[in-house]
Amino acid sequence: MLAYLGSRLRCVVVLSSVLFVVPVRGEMIEWSYIGDPGNAADVTDFGAVPYAFKIGTFEVTSKEYSVFLNAVAEDDVHGLYSPGMSWSNENVWG
Contact (Cβ atoms closer than 8 angstroms) between residue 66 and residue 57:
no
Question: What pLDDT does residue 2 have?
Answer: 38
Question: What pLDDT does residue 13 have?
Answer: 37
Question: What pLDDT does residue 41 have?
Answer: 84
Q: Is the pTM of this model over 0.85?
A: no
Distance CA(46)–CA(40), nearest Å, equals 9
pLDDT at 43 over 80: yes
Angle at Cα 45 formed by Cα 9 and Cα 40, nearest 5°?
100
Every domain of the chain and the residues it spans: 3-81
Give the mean model confidence (pLDDT) for residues 31-43: 85
Contact (Cβ atoms closer than 8 angstroms) between residue 51 and residue 37:
yes
Question: What pLDDT does residue 26 have?
Answer: 52
